[in-house]
Chains A and B, each alone.
Chain A
Amino acid sequence: MSRPRLSRRSFVTLAGAGSAAAVFGIPAYIPRIGEAADSIKIGLLEPYTGVYAGPAENETHGFEMAADAWNKRGGIMGRKIELVKEDEQNDAGVAAQKARKLINQDKVAALVGTVSSGVSLSVAGVAATTGTLFMDSGGHSDDVTGKSCHWNVFRTCHSTWMETHATGYALQKRFGKKWFFITPDYAYGHSLEAGFKDVLAHNGGSVVGNELTPLGTTDFSSYLTKIDAAKPDLVLVFVQGDDYTNCLKQMNQFGLLKKYPVGGPQVELEPLFGLPPEARGGYWGIEWYYKSEKTLGKNNKVAQQFVADTLKRTGGKPPTARNAFGYITLDRLAQAMNDAKSVDPVKVARAIENVHFTSIFAGSAYYRKEDHQLMWPMWVAKIRPNGTPGDKYDLFDVTDINAAEAVEQTIAQKQAVCKLGYPS
């Protein structure tokens, strides 16, 4: 039996192309949900495939719950909300393509969604050139509401500046001023680094180590062996998603979690659920939590209902900050369209700005007029490795609450970099 021979050259080509595709993903298509003649279509872009599929799914639950709630009340101006979902594959290029498709082909009235900052910025770019409204639910880079801000782009989740400043002050108070950073080597990581250095500059302190780790690092051992030599007061971990899981798991295996306090600007429940209890610990910034009066507010019926509805919908999996991002984003967009009695992007944008509202979190908030950042509190929590009796998901003991204005850049600072540029 003869078989075709494989040359080295074609092996290198084939294997290279193939594994690159395996790593970066190939196009997938999520079919559209039902058509409705007079509905208002909203384009939802989320990375349903790839490493952020978990957060994407949770944001989607939030979006759908807000849409259901509005539709049950009769919709916006009597028109139902219809979500048109697309998989942006956590890829800036694909996301731009899908955004154009949603705008040109599906004629959506606005775009919402995204998890990763690079993708958010890419969609914001398309939104800006086409004059479409875009509400970034989950991409944190400062640039979205900073140097790359646009009149038609709003952001719900916190900026990296808010995350670093909320946690920086809280951690310094507890642990001291010699910090060791484990930084993902891309825009998001670098802006976190800059934020924490700003905190150190204000309060005095030093960086005794800063390890730049490529995105997708699986083995952190080489970085971790340097921590012992630096003898820091605190190890700050900036890596996210699967990298976070790998890093913390290995810190535990190297016995570092017992030796040094650990913390970071932000942690999400999704990767924490993927960590064994012994690798969970430290103080972290959190963006919302389903089980604390500090995050939900006292007797907040809307928040309690949201938590209960999500639990019913997911069969017992509690909502995370991602669910909250999705819900708040679409709820506010719908409210603004309803208030403006229009889907015209300029009118809707004006109807979102500086409107104070209460929602599923403690206190009130508003999308700031000058940069379109949602100004809501940022919390810090201590991790409970095993949850609480009867609830294995109850991992956060919320310790600090920071008002948005205290941890975000001032209007003056923002205006120096951000020009919204409304069409005249």
Chain B
Amino acid sequence: MIEHLGPQLFNGIVLGAFYAIVALGLSLIMNLTGTINMAHGSFMTLAGYLAYSMVLRHVPFGWALILAPLFAVVVGVVVERTLVRPLYKREPFYSLLMTFGLSLMAEEAFRLIWGPNGVPFSPPASLAGAASLGFMQFPTFRIFIVGVLVIAIAALAMFLTRTRFGLRLRAAVQDSEMIAALGTNTQLLYAVNFSLGIFLAGIAGVLAAGMLGLSPTSGNALLMPAFVTVIIGGMGSLFGSIVGGLLVGIAISMTTLFIPAASEVAMYVLMAIVLLVRPRGLFGEEGIFG
């Protein structure tokens, strides 16, 4: 058992980084506009399929990893401008229902375009092997994933804290009326913010397609842990999403080691404990959501 501890911990961190990036996208969108994006998983799947189609046409994997999320963002902006935007002023469940409906339509659309069965999508040969980490053999692709996720998260943090636009975004989360009154185009803020969230989902989607399978339902399978991550980390806190993701990942992998059959329940138990002890979540800000 003990000799597995190191490898399992590392597995948990990889998995956790994954949940973290999906949760970050969800949080971004939710914090600013109160929209619970149920179609987040669909954007992941969309980016995965787009990358698959690109690689099939001999686009290098590295380019597909950037371009596919960008295309997903284009779709995302259209969705935000036409469907989500009119619902900003309504109760949150309007946009929840709308995006949920959208995810069902997306699933069927994927089925129509790419077929009901999964499609084969693998990382490039240079990332296909396993590398030695000293204490274990670990797939190169997973190490690559951790690298990409760390870069993405760092870039997001820089953007939010070091740029004027990021500053406005954070200010709008606090008080969008005031920001609008001061002359900032909040509609543009919303669109850019939504795009950021979708871009993160897109990157996660392409990486997930390479590591796991790619089928019309594959994105939605990752959505539930991401929501749990948001709740554990605390709503309103991006940092919380990162910590929450890592905690969920480690909880799942550790449970697998000791009680494998309970691995799926582990994150819900963790969520229940967090909610009991600290209802706002680990880093949630009291009152940010009223």
Contacts and interface: CB of A to CB of B under 8 A. Distances in A.
Contacts of A78: none
B177 to A, nearest CB: 6
Contact of B222 (A213, A218, A245): A218
A274 B119 contact: yes
B44 to A, nearest CB: 12
A166 to B, nearest CB: 25
Interface string B25-51: 000001001101010010000000000
B96 interface: yes
Contacts of B261: 185, 212, 214
Interface in B246-290: 252-253, 256-257, 260-261, 263-264, 275, 279-281, 284, 289-290
A256 B117 CA distance: 25
Contact of B38 (A12, A22, A253): A22
Interface residues on B, range: 35 or more
Interface in A291-344: none
B252 A222 contact: yes
A228 to B, nearest CB: 8
B8 interface: yes
B243 interface: no
A225 B133 CA distance: 14
A8 B212 contact: no
Contacts of A397: none
B193 interface: no
A4 B90 contact: yes
Contact of A3 (B89, B121, B138): B89
B152 to A, nearest CB: 19
Nearest to B214: A274
Interface string A47-77: 0011101101100000000000000000000
B241 interface: no
Interface string A1-36: 111111110111011101111110010000000000
Contacts of B11: 219, 221-222, 225
Interface centre among A18, A277, A278 (most CB of B within 10 A): A18
Contacts of A2: 89, 177
A273 B252 contact: no
A250 interface: yes
Contacts of A255: 129-130, 137, 139
Contact of B36 (A1, A18, A49, A278): A18
Given A214-B264, A222-B256, A6 B224 contact: no
Nearest to B121: A276
A211 B263 CA distance: 11
Given A19-B224, A225-B136, A242-B217, A1 B260 contact: no
Contacts, number: 194
B33 A3 contact: yes
Chain A CB within 10 Å, residue with most, of B3, B96, B118, B139: B118
A274 B218 CA distance: 12
Contacts of B227: 15-16, 19
A242 B215 contact: yes
A359 interface: no
A225 B8 contact: yes
Interface in A200-253: 211-214, 216-219, 221-223, 225-226, 229, 242, 245-246, 249-250, 253
A422 interface: no
A10 B92 contact: yes
Nearest to A279: B122
Given A6-B92, A7-B289, A221-B11, A275 B120 contact: yes
Interface string B189-225: 0000000000000000000000111111110111110
Contact of A57 (B96, B116, B128, B215): B116
B186 interface: yes
B4 A229 contact: yes
Given A1-B180, A218-B222, A274-B117, A50 B217 contact: yes
Contacts of B15: 219, 221
B104 to A, nearest CB: 7
Report which residue of A16, A249, A279 has the largest number of chain B beta carbons within 10 angstroms of its beta carbon.
A249
Given A255-B129, A273-B120, 19 more contacts: A1-B180, A6-B34, A8-B281, A11-B231, A12-B231, A18-B96, A19-B223, A22-B38, A216-B221, A218-B221, A222-B252, A222-B256, A223-B256, A225-B8, A242-B213, A250-B139, A253-B128, A253-B141, A254-B138
12 contacts: A3-B176, A8-B280, A10-B92, A11-B289, A18-B36, A53-B111, A54-B116, A221-B15, A253-B141, A271-B117, A274-B120, A275-B118
Shortest 4 CB-CB contacts between residues of A and residues of B: A274-B118, A5-B290, A222-B256, A245-B213
